[in-house]
Structures are given as C-alpha cells and as structure tokens.
Amino acid sequence: MTTKHLIPPDVTALYEVHESRNAIGILATACHAEWQDVLFALRQSRLLRSEVLRKGGRKSLVSIRFDGFLTAREWREKQFRTAISIDDTRVETPTHKVDCYKNRVALEVEWNNKTEFYDRDLNNFRLLFDLRAIDVGIIVTRASHLQLIFDQLGKGKSYGPSTTHLDKLIPRIDGGGGGGCPIAVFGITSQLYVEDPMPPAADIAEESGDDDDMP
C-alpha cells in the first residue's frame, strides 16, 4: 500500500519519490501546513549548473537554498535534549541536530556527503519517532541518474558511488534503517536541472577523487 498518489503531479514530475509507512499520507493529513511548506520548497528548488561546478564548502549551495525556503516559513534547526533516568541517575543521550524542523516534522537535505550520513539520519529519525518527538521524517537527496550530468560537466569523480544518492538510500530504508518512523524521500531529478551561466573560473572546483561537500 502506498499514499504517493497524494503528491501533486507537478511535484512527481520533478522528483523521484519513495515512502515508507505511508509517510505521504501522514504529511498530507496530520501535518497539512508543514506539507504545504515542503511542497513550496520542492517546487521552488532548481539544480543549477553553476552550483554543480562551483567549489564546495561545509554545506552545499543546493542544501543552503532548500533550507532557506523552509527557514522563511519558520522551520528551524533543532537539537533535541534527551536523557535516560535510572533511579536517581540521569544520563544525557543527545541526538544529532535536525537541519529543518517544524511541528513534529523533521527534514534533512543530503546532497553530496558520505553515505554514512544516511545511516545517521535514519537512526536519528528512528530514535526521535520512538521518543514521540517527531511524527515523520523527510530526506531530500539526489536521484542516481544525475551522475550522467556530472560526468558531462567533468565532475563525475566528485559525485562518486560512495556519496549520497538514491541507490544508496532506498536499500537502507527497505532494510529497516528508520525503524518504525514513516519516511518520505524526494530525489532531485534531471527535470530540475538548469544550465545557468557558468561561474567565474576562479570559483570552479578542480576535478578530483574527493567529494565536494563534506563537513
């Protein structure tokens, strides 16, 4: 059973969508306002050639821009303070920060990190769901077929097989990596690609075997 039919057609035309445990149905019904925010960000987002070619930093321009659409709608980075109490002993068990959070919906953008970041996100969603801190988790990442564009731009090595793309994420979710947490995944496809003007030569990253946007 799936609830992906609740996604507007114009959004499914731009993204490769996956879900677990009817995540889309939960977003569309129980988290309607937050779902509208996410749809707005998905519709506004584009993958610019200049962003692919530009030198990387601590956080990719793709992630920064997507986060910005949600920040303007009062989504915030969130650090949950969690602890285990045994008799009079309290042990702090902090979770990883969630990049974008609003009203029990958590969202992460994984553009070009090591695939271990997927494990971190899924484990975080699982824990926060079990603690009843979130109702659903969302991951925005890149569709695997974008590798063809990266290769054409001479950036294929920087977006290698060990980085975050859908073919590395879906098996983790299918294998139970997120536990009982409903998870929606949106893979950025070539339909969002725009050949905007080239960045200045000084801002173009040299091709290497390293990943561009590792923290």
25: which residues sit within 8 A by CB, 6+ positions away? 3, 6
Residue 191: HSE in the Cβ half-sphere, 13 Å Cα cutoff:
15
Rounded Cα distance between 105 and 179, Å, is 16
Q: Are 211 and 158 in contact (CB under 8 A)?
A: yes
- Chain mean position to CA 16: 13
For residue 58, what pLDDT is reported? Answer: 75
Q: Are 22 and 167 in contact (CB under 8 A)?
A: no
pLDDT confidence band for 26 (50 / 70 / 90) = very high
Q: By C-alpha distance, which of 46, 16, 63 is closest to 212?
A: 63
CATH of 20-80+89-194, one of 3.40.91.20, 3.40.30.10, 3.40.50.300, 3.30.43.10: 3.40.91.20
pLDDT at 45 over 70: yes
For residue 56, what pLDDT is reported? Answer: 67
Query: Which of 45-49, 92-96, 199-203 shows the lowest mean pLDDT across its residues?
Result: 92-96
CA angle 15, 18, 19 (to 5 degrees): 135
Query: Which of 20-24, 197-201, 209-213 shows the lowest mean pLDDT across its residues?
Result: 209-213
Question: What pTM did the predictor assign?
Answer: 0.91
pLDDT at 169 over 90: yes
Q: Are 154 and 206 in contact (CB under 8 A)?
A: no
122 torsion bin: left (phi>0), alpha (psi -120 to 50), beta (else) = alpha
Mean pLDDT of the chain: 91
Residue with tokens 């987002």: 45
For residue 96, what pLDDT is reported? Answer: 81
Any idea of the CA torsion for 142, 143, 149, 154, to the nearest 10 degrees? Answer: 50
* Arithmetic mean of pLDDT, 91-115: 90
* Arithmetic mean of pLDDT, 126-147: 96
Give the model confidence (pLDDT) of 62-94 as tens digits. 999 999 999 999 999 999 887 777 777 877 666
For residue 17, what pLDDT is reported? Answer: 98
DSSP per residue, 14-83: TEEEEEETTHHHHHHHTTHHHHHHHHHHHHH--EEHHHHHBPP-SS-HHHHHHHHHHHTTT-EEE----E
* Arithmetic mean of pLDDT, 175-179: 97
Query: Which of 15-29, 133-147, 199-213 shows the lowest mean pLDDT across its residues?
Result: 199-213
For residue 215, what pLDDT is reported? Answer: 41
Residue with tokens 């079990």: 130
Residue 159's identity, in one-letter code, is Y
**Mean pLDDT comparison of 17-26, 45-54, 55-64, highest-scoring range:** 17-26
pLDDT at 202 over 60: yes
